């Protein structure tokens, strides 16, 4: 089975990459974009029966830095 | 003074750091591999070098911070052993939680590699006693992820408790409140983005980093 961890910057944390992307989008003729936040998706192959809590523990211990990032776990 | 340098896959300032430590202490530091499971007895200083440990994958310093030897480094720091993290070493220290905050992509998105002016904010520590508070020194930086960020309460606390060791005297990377180096609450852990080991002898074009190592020597010898 698959687990998917979506890691995103916490609200309020400055995102220089997102800002650069917003600027580039503006240059491409998309002035309607007011903000861009960059995150990442980490897909894990895990054994059947792995729980959401186990994956969340992986996220807390390594996959996300909870000082600056939030994460969301989905199992599929 | 017995020192050690922890080497991670992708460290690239470990030898410069070892040369600086030997120059000042007269003793070669122990070079420790990240996968080791124990520290040598009686270390007076553990140093984490700059570089790109594990290719900066996931987040700079994130994987190195979970190395087997780092468990021992965290335990030693808890018992009061001085730990110095420079550049990637600073990133590793924030990832372990030994130091608060995080080092994010430079605000300008560029890799910044040049001499910068730093203000010594706190001189009352083993790491900074070779300097005078308020003094300006010139030490090079070379990083992509040096933009120090923490929540406002943490930043206030760092400033109020004298945990800001160095501040940029010019705009470098967008760091909150210009922070270039911070100390742990007990003062025995220092993380800094600038590279003092790169300015310890005249041939380097500057010697402002030397006082950091000499200051340590006077307390730890």
Residue-wise pLDDT tens digits, B49-59: 999 999 999 99
Q: Does the distance separating the beta carbons of A16 and B108 come in below 8 Å?
A: yes
Among A14, A20, A67, beta carbon nearest to B101: A67
| B105 lies within 8 A of chain A by CB | yes
How high is the pLDDT of residue B146?
98
Which residue among A13, A16, A67 sits closest to B106, beta carbon to beta carbon? Answer: A16
The CATH number that applies at residue B83 is: 3.40.50.880
Of residues B5 and A15, more confidently modeled: B5
Assess whether pLDDT exceeds 80 at residue B221: no
Q: Which of B56, B97, B104 is best to mutate for the A interface (most A CBs within 10 A)? A: B104
Sorted by where each starts, the structural domains of chain A and their CATH numbers stand as 2-75 (3.30.1280.10)
> What number is the average pLDDT over the span B96-113?
96
- Model confidence over B157-199: pLDDT tens digits? 999 999 999 999 999 999 999 999 999 999 999 999 999 999 9
Kind plus residue range of the DSSP H or E element containing B95: helix B88-96
Asked if B208 and B143 touch (Cβ cutoff 8 Å), the reply is no
Range of the domain at B111: 3-220
> How many structural domains is chain B composed of?
1
Q: What pLDDT score does B220 carry?
A: 87
Structure-model confidence comparison of residues B152 and B220, the more confident one: B152
For chain B, percent of residues with pLDDT exceeding 90: 99
Among A12, A40, A65, pick the best mutation site for testing chain B contact (most B Cβ within 10 A).
A65
**Low-confidence residues of chain A: pLDDT under 70:** none
ipTM of the complex: 0.87
CA distance A12 to chain B (A): 9
Distance from CA of B57 to the nearest CA of A (A): 11
Q: Could you give the residue numbers annotated as active site of B?
A: 87, 195, 197
Nearest CB among B102, B107, B109 relative to A68 is that of B102
Task: Over range B121-150, report the average pLDDT.
Answer: 97
Which residues on neighbouring strands pair with residue B164, listed in sequence order? B182
Work out the average pLDDT over B99-103. 97
Q: For residue B107, give the nearest of A27, A15, A21, A69 by alpha carbon.
A: A15
Strand boundaries in chain B, DSSP class E: 3-7, 30-33, 45-48, 83-86, 102-104, 112-120, 136-143, 147-149, 164-168, 179-183, 189-192
CA gap B142, B138 in Å, rounded: 13
A42 → chain B, closest CA residue: B58
């Amino acid at each position: 089975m698959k687990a998917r961890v979506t890691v995103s910057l916490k609200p309020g944390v400055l995102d220089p990459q997102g800002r650069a992307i917003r600027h580039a989008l503006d240059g491409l003729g998309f002035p309607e974009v007011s903000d861009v936040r960059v995150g990442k998706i980490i897909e894990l192959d895990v054994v059947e029966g792995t729980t959401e809590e186990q994956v969340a523990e992986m996220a807390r211990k390594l996959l996300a830095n909870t000082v600056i990032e939030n994460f969301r776990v989905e199992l599929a | 003074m017995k020192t050690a340098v922890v080497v991670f896959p992708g460290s690239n300032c470990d030898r410069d750091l070892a040369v600086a430590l030997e120059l000042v202490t007269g003793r070669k530091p122990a070079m420790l591999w990240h996968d080791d499971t124990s520290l040598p007895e009686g270390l007076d200083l553990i140093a984490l070098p700059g570089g790109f440990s594990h290719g900066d994958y996931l987040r700079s310093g994130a994987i190195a911070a979970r190395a087997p030897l780092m468990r021992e480094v965290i335990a030693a720091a808890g018992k009061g052993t001085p730990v110095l993290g420079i550049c990637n070493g600073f990133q590793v220290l924030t990832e372990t939680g030994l130091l608060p905050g995080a080092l994010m992509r430079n605000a300008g998105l560029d890799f910044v590699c040049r001499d910068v002016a730093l203000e010594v904010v706190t001189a009352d520590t083993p790491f900074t006693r070779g300097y005078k508070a308020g003094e300006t020194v010139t030490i090079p930086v070379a990083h992509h992820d040096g933009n120090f960020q923490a929540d406002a309460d943490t930043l206030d606390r760092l400033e109020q408790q004298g945990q800001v060791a160095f501040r940029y005297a010019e705009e470098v990377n967008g760091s909150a409140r210009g922070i270039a180096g911070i100390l742990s609450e007990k003062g025995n852990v220092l993380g800094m983005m600038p590279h003092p080991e790169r300015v310890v002898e005249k041939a380097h074009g500057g010697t402002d980093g030397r006082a950091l190592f000499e200051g340590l020597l006077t307390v730890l010898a």
